[in-house]
């Protein structure tokens, strides 16, 4: 058997964020089309906003492997990656995957923020809808209803990538559960500096508290 090198890749906050995001997103999808769940949908949207803001903060001050500056690459690197996608070992995200992370965060953040300005004219009016014009409210409401399709496309691409990497025996899911990832012993990888995930979870709690206090 090939000797391997195992490193600590994802801290507790990043793993918690990932799986909480899955649960909250599923809840938003389920409650989004039913007026009986409109209040729950709003509350889940606020949790989503807190998750995303905390992930952005953690991407600046958190563990090295979670920082955007650590895994983002130039567009040229993405082009070179697609020419030989499985040639190199990457400590965290490959160049294409890094851009996918940013796209997904941007889509989810725009969806969460637009929800604060929506108005269905019957059952729900977003807590910030009064700050903009009626035309803007209508535009943001229309965007909020339509943009989830783009999120579903991004999720589908993510699942396809996981399947392809699994077929190529590149582990993606396991490290997001255990926090550790094994590489070939001769791989040129270094242990990223880690911050304790508890700090990220405390930051999440703070963000949930002030967001619910302001917008609930």
How would DSSP label each residue in 67-127?
A: -HHHH---HHHHHHHHHSTTSS--SS--HHHHHHHHHHHHHHHHHHHHHTT-B-SSS-B-T
Highest mean pLDDT among 83-92, 157-166, 183-192 belongs to 157-166
pLDDT on residue 161: 86
Task: Report the CATH number that the domain containing residue 22 is assigned in CATH.
Answer: 1.20.950.20
The whole domain housing 205 covers 4-215
- The domain total for the chain is 1
pLDDT in tens, 50-103: 999 999 999 999 999 999 999 999 989 889 888 887 777 788 888 999 999 999
pLDDT in tens, 7-46: 899 999 999 999 999 999 999 999 987 888 999 999 999 9
183 forms beta bridges with 5
pLDDT on residue 1: 47
């Amino acid at each position: 058997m090939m000797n391997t090198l195992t490193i600590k890749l994802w801290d507790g906050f990043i793993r918690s964020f990932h799986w909480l995001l899955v649960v909250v997103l599923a809840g938003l999808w389920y409650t989004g089309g039913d007026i009986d769940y409109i209040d729950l949908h709003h509350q889940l949207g606020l949790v989503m906003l807190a998750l995303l803001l905390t992930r952005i903060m953690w991407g600046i001050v958190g563990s090295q492997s979670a920082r955007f500056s650590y895994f983002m690459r130039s567009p040229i690197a993405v082009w070179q990656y697609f020419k030989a996608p499985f040639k190199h070992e990457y400590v965290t995200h490959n160049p294409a995957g890094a851009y996918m992370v940013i796209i997904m965060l941007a889509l989810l953040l725009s969806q969460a923020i637009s929800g604060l300005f929506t108005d269905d004219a019957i059952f729900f009016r977003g807590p910030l809808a009064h700050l903009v014009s009626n035309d803007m409210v209508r535009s943001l409401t229309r965007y909020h209803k339509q943009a989830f399709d783009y999120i579903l496309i991004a999720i589908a691409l993510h699942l396809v990538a996981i399947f392809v990497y699994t077929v190529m025996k590149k582990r993606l899911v396991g490290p997001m559960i255990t926090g550790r990832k094994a590489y070939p012993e001769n791989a040129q990888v270094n242990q990223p500096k880690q911050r304790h995930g508890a700090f990220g979870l405390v930051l999440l709690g703070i963000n949930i508290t002030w967001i619910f206090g302001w917008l609930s």
